[in-house]
Structure formats: C-alpha cells, structure tokens
Structure 1
C-alpha cells in the first residue's frame, strides 16, 4: 500500500497527508543524495516515475534469478515462516529505506525487523528503491523523519495487514 492510500483509509495516519515528508525532493537535493551515496560506494540510478523505475529494476536482476512473493502471503504464521527461511538469504533483496541522507547514509527501520535482516546479513545483492520524498539532509533529520513519520506509516501498514 502506498502512503497516500493508507492515509485515506486510516484515521490515525490521515493527519500526515500533507506532511513535507510526502513531497518530492528538489532536483538539487536529489543530486546531492545521489552524489553522497556514490561517494559511499553505492551504485545509484535516478529515474522518473514508476514505469522507468520498474524497467531499471528488472534490468538489474540476472537472468534466471528467482523471485519470492513473501509479501503476498496474508497468513501471519506462514508469512513469518517464509521470512525466516528464505527472506534473508536470496541472491537479490529488494527493499526501501526510512530515509536517504544527502550525506550518502541510509536509515532503515521497520516494526517487524524482517527488512533489516535482509539488508544487514542476508542477500548477496541489496537493491534499495526510494522515492525522493525520503531524502533528508543528514542523520539527525533521518531520525526525525523516522520517529515522526515513518513509524506512523509502519503502524498503519501493520493495522491494515493484520486486520
């Protein structure tokens, strides 16, 4: 679910609908974050829109790579089992971040903790997809965005998934 879709259906999240954290970053901030990430050894692709993002993303996977559909499993017990058994050891791990710093640092947080393990310990290749709305100046702003905004979205997603 997108944040905007959740905000329409979750009364607790609706108050964030016009948050600055939902707005795209300027081209200058995007360029700064790209440069910061590249300085820290990341390969960065800046794309325009979902279609181009999907094309770029699929071009990164090697032919024959398997794709897990863990997120489509709605049964909480089965979902958890899949996360533990295959969720942290794939060839490719696709995720997002809570914030992307102009200084090239990434901030990662989620309520379940499953996403963090795949980034830190599991996959041979980690691919991060993040909208420019996640760009912040530095670690301090990343913490602020995470605590004031991201946790609220994660809470809404949890309420939605485990209804």
Structure 2
C-alpha cells in the first residue's frame, strides 16, 4: 500500500475510532496481525473463560491458535470431535464467559457495528452476556454509514460466506443478495449496534490491514 492510500485509510480509522470512543467503546489501532494478537493476549487475563464467534478474521489471523496455548478456559467450537449438541451447549455457555472475541461485518464512521447472522448466536453474545466483547476488524470493513454497511454486508460478505459454507442459495450463483427464502439462507438476523451501553464492555481493535470478508 502506497503512502497516499495509507493516508486515506488512516483518516478513515481516525474518524471511526473517535466515534466508537464516543459510543463507549475502548479502541485500539494496530499496524498488523502480529500486533493485534499481542494486544488480544494482553487484554485477556489468565484463568478466565473465553469464547469466540465464527469468523474468518479469527481463523485466518491465527489468533485462535494463540488462545489455545494460553492459560484460559477456551470454549472452542472448532475442537475436533464435537457433536452438534456439544457445540450448541458451547453457544449457551458463551453467555457466561469473561471474554467473547469476534469480528464485525462492518463498522461505520459513526461508530456503529453492523452484523448479519445465520443462527444469531454471534450477535446475541455481542449484545448481552459475556463480561467483555473484543471485536477485531480489518480496515477493509470500515464504511461511511449504515447504507454503505448494509450494501457491504448483503452484497459482499454474505454471498462470500454462503459460498464458503457451500450453501445452496441464489447468491452463490449470482454473487449478490436476492433476499431469498432458501432453507440454506445465512442472512437471518440483521443487527445494528448503535452504542455500547456498558462503558468498557466493548473493545474494538482496528487492524491496518485487510482481514476477513
């Protein structure tokens, strides 16, 4: 990324950070994935209970592997050999976790988190339950406003995730949302978080890199 492009994203990050802080979030800006992992491990106390949402940002960054080495109780939904019932129980245990780590489908320059879920367990935990929620977002997910966020979530992130999950939905054929009624639809719960009501509960880490969808 050249100097001018970096300048453009720095300005967008600056506006977003200021708005998030106004909305009661604790915000950290890091330069790369390695710095992000250091910050997450620094924030999470030993012996605590930690859960996380389904997210390619978490999977591809390697933060989950680092968490598995840490002295914590990790509610690991990707642990080999888990049954469907065991995974569902982990989703429920998440509400009592000390920390919940996830990403956001989009973050506006007004400090709003915008997410679209299939089952709703991710957005539910972001809203209520875990004592602290750590949201990791690459600069590619920062958008101007709710209109741009909606377009990004419906016509970019959702079709890509549906394709990744091998869903039989129209968007996997067209590459954009047709607001279908398919049984395989993953766009079931659209949530806009305008503000974190408990100051300090929400922590946003913005990475100056492209992460996730």
Q: Same fold (TM over 0.5)?
A: yes
Question: For the residues of structure 2 that align with 1:72 and 1:151, how far apart are their CA atoms?
Answer: 25
Give the structure with the larger helix fraction.
1
Deviations 1:122-157 (A, max 9, x none): 211011001010000011111111111111122133
Question: For the residues of structure 1 that align with 2:16 and 2:117, how far apart are their CA atoms?
Answer: 22
* Preserved contact between residue 110 and residue 154 of structure 1 (Cα < 8 Å): no
Deviations 1:67-101 (A, max 9, x none): 22113357561454234332332110001101011
| Pairing of 1:90-129 with structure 2 (within 5 A) | 90-129=97-136
- Indicate the SS of the match to 2:30: coil
- The answer for unaligned runs of 5 or more in structure 2 is 49-72, 168-213
Question: For the residues of structure 1 that align with 2:81 and 2:158, how far apart are their CA atoms?
Answer: 21
1:44 has 2:51 as partner: no
* Preserved contact between residue 107 and residue 142 of structure 1 (Cα < 8 Å): yes
1:157 has 2:140 as partner: no
Deviation beyond 6 Å, 4+ runs, structure 1? none
Larger displacement relative to structure 2 (136-145 or 78-87): 78-87
Question: For the residues of structure 2 that align with 1:137 and 1:114, how far apart are their CA atoms?
Answer: 27
Q: Of 62, 81, 90, which residue of structure 1 is paired with 2:88?
A: 81
Are residues 157 and 82 of structure 1, via their aligned partners in 2, closer, same or farther at CA, if it must alter by over 3 Å? farther
- Cα deviation for residue 39 of structure 1 reads 1.1
Question: For the residues of structure 2 that align with 1:147 and 1:129, how far apart are their CA atoms?
Answer: 20
* Preserved contact between residue 30 and residue 36 of structure 2 (Cα < 8 Å): yes
* TM-score between both structures, scaled by the size of structure 1: 0.75
- Indicate the SS of the match to 2:95: coil
Deviations 1:98-136 (A, max 9, x none): 101111111022222221111112211011001010000
* TM-score between both structures, scaled by the size of structure 2: 0.59
Structure 2 counterpart of 1:138: 145
Equivalent pairs counted in the alignment come to 138
Deviations 1:13-60 (A, max 9, x none): xxxxxxxxxx98711111111111111110000101111000001111
The alignment yields a C-alpha RMSD, in angstroms, of: 2.3
Question: For the residues of structure 2 that align with 1:74 and 1:132, how far apart are their CA atoms?
Answer: 35
Question: For the residues of structure 1 that align with 2:162 and 2:82, how far apart are their CA atoms?
Answer: 18
